[in-house]
Amino acid sequence: MFDTAIIGAGPSGSQCAYLLARQGHKVAVLEKKPTAGTKQSCTGIIGKECRGLLPPGVDGITAEFNSASFFSPSGIILHVEKPTPQASFIDRKRFDNQMALAAQEAGAEYIFDAATETIEITGRKVIIGASKNGNSISIEAKSVVVASGFNPKFTRMLGLGQIEYSATGWQTEVDTNGMLEAEVYFGKNVAPGFFAWLVPFSPGRAKLGLLSRNGGAALLQTFWSDMYSRGKVTSPITETYHGAVPLKPLAKTYNDRVLVVGDAAGQVKPTTGGGIYYGLLCSTIAAACLHEAIARDDFSSKMLKKYQDEWHKKLYAELKVTYLARRAFQKLSDKQIDNIFETVSSKSIHEELLSEEDFSFDWHGKLILKALKYPSLWNPLGLLAYQIRHFHKQPYYSP
């Protein structure tokens, strides 16, 4: 019997597997795909703090960024730049495979082409039923970690409900005309309530994509057409990828013998939809909690609640502020967004925020709260400013 079975070989699942296996625990990882690194809808941008969590030898980095440009609906440009790189682009296929290899070298057993179908919690163990190459297999473990990405099937199966709020990321790869920095675009004709991006990842190549709740395929085509007409993109769309992105965490991410991590738990930045860093952070906490549970042979809900308590200490306030910002931002008109850009640009607010010693690519809540200290932003921000300044009074886990 395994100490822990992990469903999903993405970064969160492999991080948890690596940390548990290197401490001598018996770990199995079930992955429905033939290999790790198949998620093509993820842009793959991580910050400096995220790199510090990676196992030795893991990076997958193909480009680094110290600047970016943001475009308002009417074309107002905000350029942000720091002297040193603040973010890196990773090749997700290489990165995920490096993470899986690190876990395997530490002693974790990976079972690929194994699609989990059932998870049964009994008095003394977890029984996982999966299909592998057309055959049914059964895995027994003392505990299970759900790291399957955004898949409500498993959390509903385990009595943990489902994530209430999500969007869909749409993306393709294109040739570009010598781009050197990431570009982000706003507006109802581009990505209503969200944003679109053009991110170079190697010389002459970039990821073109957007977040949307509806009509993403058509919006992606329209965005590509705009970038092509401007000469920024020089090749047609040949293949597109899309995937659901949770923008709010589960209310409960633990149960008897169960923990949920990463996208499956909704541990994702509501501002950008990025989940790699928070997933790694929370899977590290999950591994520490399970290490203690294995040592005590106590996999009760009371014991595993420590996992949620710990990740809430680190992320709850951050996720709450940025979630409220996300929901409020969706209500802004193009004119209001333009007004925000004009105010930030005319007052050089973005430059002041960038100069803060604790500026971080990964912690947007701090940046948002600091921006709201500027009275000149209160009027153009409107509802957004009000809701975030009073975030502690707002419900979070209700729909």
Give me the mean pLDDT over the 237-246 stretch. 92
Residue 113 lies in a domain: yes
Residue 70 lies in a domain: no
Give me the mean pLDDT over the 48-53 stretch. 82
Question: What tokens does 90 get?
Answer: 């990773």
* pLDDT single digits (tens) 56-82: 888 778 788 888 999 999 999 999 988
Whether residue 142 sits in one domain with residue 20: yes
Whether residue 104 sits in one domain with residue 31: yes
Place of tokens 């994702």: 268
Q: What is the DSSP letter of 124?
A: S
- Percentage with pLDDT > 90 across the chain: 64
Considering 262, 290, 318, which residue would you say is the last residue of a domain? 318
**Domain extent at residue 279:** 4-39+46-56+90-164+247-318
Considering 202, 229, 245, which residue would you say is the last residue of a domain? 245
pLDDT of 391 reads 54
* pLDDT single digits (tens) 321-376: 888 888 888 888 999 899 889 988 988 888 888 887 777 788 888 888 777 777 66
Whether residue 199 sits in one domain with residue 101: no
Whether residue 324 sits in one domain with residue 371: yes
How far is residue 373 from each of residues 243, 268, 340, measured CA to CA in Å? 36, 25, 14
Whether residue 240 sits in one domain with residue 171: yes
Whether residue 125 sits in one domain with residue 52: yes
Gyration radius (Cα) of the chain, Å? 21
Residue 79 lies in a domain: no
Residue 72 lies in a domain: no
pTM for the structure as a whole: 0.92
Domain count, the chain: 3
pLDDT of 381 reads 59
Residue 398 lies in a domain: no
CATH, residue 236: 3.30.9.10
Q: Is the dihedral of CA 226, 227, 230, 231 positive or negative?
A: negative
pLDDT of 101 reads 95
Residue 84 lies in a domain: no
Considering 212, 245, 278, which residue would you say is the last residue of a domain? 245
pLDDT of residue 147 exceeding 90, the answer is yes
CATH, residue 145: 3.50.50.60
